[in-house]
Structure 1
Amino acid sequence: MAPELLGFQLTHRTMRGDTRRLATLAAELAEGRQTADPARARAVSEYVRALCTGIHHHHTMEDRALWPVIERSAGAEVDLRDLSDDHSALDPLLNEIDGQAVAFATTRDASALASSLTRLADMLDEHIEEEERLLFPVIMKYVSAADWKKVEDAVRKGTKASVELPKIEQYARPEELARLRRLAGPVLSVLLALFRGGHRRRQRLVFGPLAG
């Protein structure tokens, strides 16, 4: 059996989508096109910080769990140095954004946050497109389904299903969601029903009443 890459693809899509949406929101807050009362400012801050934590966890587990599997399975077929360098470049920016998000909760000045989130969104777009272009064919050709499952399990350990599953539902296309349901079985529908309401409330508080 070949590895099932859909979960990784959707995780990448959620990271890119949320980062770009937050960059747009921060720019509109900085320019006065949207406003944030204290409750919304705290919610935006928490959402940004959780995003940074999730991105850091994802690329750290790629370094620690996925890269060794690829090197062991594919050998000289792929050079991971540029992708690892991208991960190293992301960390200082994620730390910067985390600090700016903390400050925003108090000051409600989103100028610095808007600039940094836009940089992050651009970096993620470029990095993830290159990663999927280079690595997905190699994974499909050389990595066993059993080794891939170990990688996915390692990545999943540091995530919150209550946060990540509704995001995947939000960003997945209908046919992709149907595929996930077939792979995961009835438990996925139960969990999505359980977590969907909280996710939508967070979305509306952070992104506005029409979100979620």
Structure 2
Amino acid sequence: MTTTANRPQTEEMVIVHTLFRTHLAALPDLVTAVPDGDRSRAADLAGWLSELLTGLHHHHVGEDELMWPVLASRAPQDRALVLRMEEQHSRIADLVAGCHREGAAFAASGRRTDGGTLAATLSDLNDSLAEHLSDEERHVLPIVREVMSVDEWRALADRGNASIPKERRLVFLGFMLHTATPEQRDLLMTQLPLPARVVWRLVGRRDFARAYRQIYGAGPQW
């Protein structure tokens, strides 16, 4: 993550949040639309869900390890807020575990009943996640900009980036760019070294479009 005027550039976290919001919110309808017994389609959606949930897990573990302790120490007046964030993480983690189990069952069977069970848990996850991400953006990120250092914020970003398999990083970049605002896209692209920008244009954009089409049945509209 980058910084502005020696402060963390927290807008990059908002971009990541938008990716989770957008694609997890789309999954209940995608799952319930799978024809009964279509294990191939169920496996595609369950695989994408697993990637999103794994990314969300690492995103939250990074905050647990590298953000909440700093905020609790340096902004003791906001300790109740930090505790609320940690409690939300715990509730979300339980729902994530349920989605992993139900996603695996749905991939194995392709049954509409298993898809309905998964969709219901996903809806609960989306409700809890919407509350948490909104609280974090409205209340936590302003504190981060005041009390966390540039290096601490960068370490949090580096941890998240390292959790993405190398062969999927350009694809996930595409998903972030696609759900970002034009200003956020400019911000993301300015952080990439020139070779990475070239690879994105030559290879990454195409790979992202293929991955998007596999999930949504049509190419991304920019």
Mark yes or no: TM-score above 0.5: yes
Q: SS where residue 7 of structure 1 aligns? A: helix
Structure 1: any 5+ residue segments left out of the alignment? none
Deviation of 1:143 after TM superposition, in Å, equals 1.6
Structure 1 counterpart of 2:41: 40
Structure 1 counterpart of 2:70: 69
Q: 1:5 to 1:188 in 2, by over 3 A?
A: farther
The equivalences for 1:111-150 within 5 A come to 111-150=116-155
CA distance in 1, matches of 2:92, 2:49: 15
Is the 8 Å Cα contact of residues 181 and 188 (structure 1) preserved in structure 2? no
User: How many pairs are equivalent?
Assistant: 208
Spell out, residue by residue over 1:44-93, the C-alpha distance to the aligned partner (whole angstroms, 9 max, x if none).
11111111111111111110111122234333344311110111111121
Computed over aligned residues only, the root mean square deviation of the Cα atoms, in angstroms, reads: 2.0
Which of 202, 208, 211 is residue 217 of structure 2 equivalent to?
Answer: 208
Identity, in percent, stands at 25
CA distance in 2, matches of 1:180, 1:54: 18
Q: TM-score, normalised by structure 1?
A: 0.88
CA distance in 1, matches of 2:206, 2:102: 28
- Check if 1:192 corresponds to 2:197: no
Structure 2: any 5+ residue segments left out of the alignment? 1-5
Structure 1 counterpart of 2:3: none
Q: 1:191 to 1:95 in 2, by over 3 A?
A: farther
Deviation of 1:188 after TM superposition, in Å, equals 4.3
Structure 2 counterpart of 1:9: 14
Q: TM-score, normalised by structure 2?
A: 0.85
Is the 8 Å Cα contact of residues 69 and 147 (structure 1) preserved in structure 2? no
* 1:144 alignment partner AA: S
Deviation of 1:155 after TM superposition, in Å, equals 2.2
